[in-house]
Structure 1
Amino acid sequence: MDRLSYSAAWLSQWRAEITDAVDAMAATFEETYGFPAGDNEVRLADEDDSRAVRAYAREMPGADDLLTFYQSIGEVLLPDVGNGFFLHSARDVLRRVEEEGHVFLPMADDPHGTVIGSNGGGILFVADRGGVIHRSRTASTDGGEFDRIADTLPDFLDLIRRSVVRFVETGEPGCL
């Protein structure tokens, strides 16, 4: 991916590359897997998302990369990539924080994290307040079993892009 600085333009290019890969996957998906592809998309933010972003900014100060993301992208739904991959909407992230609180990340520089995504097997992706992304080892936030997988949200988004392209090209899900 071109090295634009992280911005709405960077996210637009990121979305286009994933959309192109998913469109290529959908063209042969049923022939390859024996059932039709689901709805795989990187949904643009809408007015409801914009309201949630404003609430997110009040609840999660210092999460600038996530705010930039949610101002452009409503959510990522890739049920047919590997086990599935999902980046939750700002509304869903806030609801989860309200219901369950923050995730404890004992090995992180900042031990307070927010679940921002998951895969179809229950693995969770958590952003700490410093912007580092962690992956749960199990389908639970209990026990603090997380691994650091990206130093920044843009690094994580690039990992997603590379994993989607790898899955489309080889059938292997990559690191998701």
Structure 2
Amino acid sequence: MDLEAWLGRMGPLVERFESEFEQVYGYEAEGNRVEPVRDGPVGALDDLPVDLVEFYTAVREVQLPDLNNGYFIHPVDFVLNSREHGTPMYAPEIVDGRIYVFGSDGGGGLFAIPSSGSPVYLLSSGPVNENVYQSMGAPPEEVSKDIEGFLYFLESTLKRVVDEYY
């Protein structure tokens, strides 16, 4: 995964999206940004799947609240403190072992990967009891085969919107 190249492509797309957002939509953007790591990642990354370790050594956080319904990749300290935040750590419907919630959408969905690092799932809104996720009708959806595919999805979605409306 070439995260430096991804950051290099996303930066100008986000800047253009932000700078012309109000003109296109009629209200101010809410702070869309892709933030690289400046002084090394915060937290002990050893417990995370390899793809997340690689991601968090280059990228601190992604906030795209105005892209479609919103897309967010949370800082690593949020991922590492799942128990305290009450986010799912297990989803027996999709995998026997641990999952890592690393992001969310603007509609209550959570993006998660199992310990193996693939695939990336979207967990729809549902109860979380003792860090165990339960779907409520809508089963978890596989959104990409891995983190790299998920990042490509974010980039291509943003590029499509910028190319179409800007």
Q: Which residue does 2:45 correspond to in 1?
A: 56
Q: Secondary structure at the match of 1:50?
A: coil
User: Structure 1 residue 72 and structure 2 residue 58: aligned?
Assistant: yes
User: Which consecutive residues of structure 2, in runs of 5 or more, have no partner in the other structure?
Assistant: none
- TM-score where L is the length of structure 1: 0.79
Quote the offset at 1:11 in angstroms.
Answer: 0.6
- The residue type equivalent to 1:113 in the other structure is I
Distance 2:142 2:111 in 1: 10
- The 5 A counterparts of 1:59-138 are 59-60=47-48, 63-100=49-86, 102-108=89-95, 110-132=96-118, 133-138=120-125
Pick aligned residue for 1:149 from 140, 143, 148: 143
Q: Deviations over 1:117-162 (max 9, x none)?
A: 0011111100111112101233655324311111111111111111
Alpha-carbon spacing, 1:73–1:107, altered in 2? closer, same or farther (3 Å): same
Pick aligned residue for 1:18 from 10, 19, 29: 10
- TM-score where L is the length of structure 2: 0.83
Q: Which residue does 1:42 correspond to in 2?
A: 34
Identity %: 26
Distance 2:9 2:126 in 1: 29
Q: Deviations over 1:153-175 (max 9, x none)?
A: 1111111111111222336xxxx
Quote the offset at 1:113 in angstroms.
Answer: 0.9
Alpha-carbon spacing, 1:135–1:147, altered in 2? closer, same or farther (3 Å): same
Question: How many residues are paired up?
Answer: 156
Q: Which residue does 1:167 correspond to in 2?
A: 161
Distance 2:161 2:82 in 1: 29
Q: Is the 8 A contact 2:126 2:134 kept in 1?
A: no
Distance 2:126 2:160 in 1: 24
Q: Which residue does 1:33 correspond to in 2?
A: 25
Structure holding more helix per residue: 1
- The residue type equivalent to 1:56 in the other structure is L
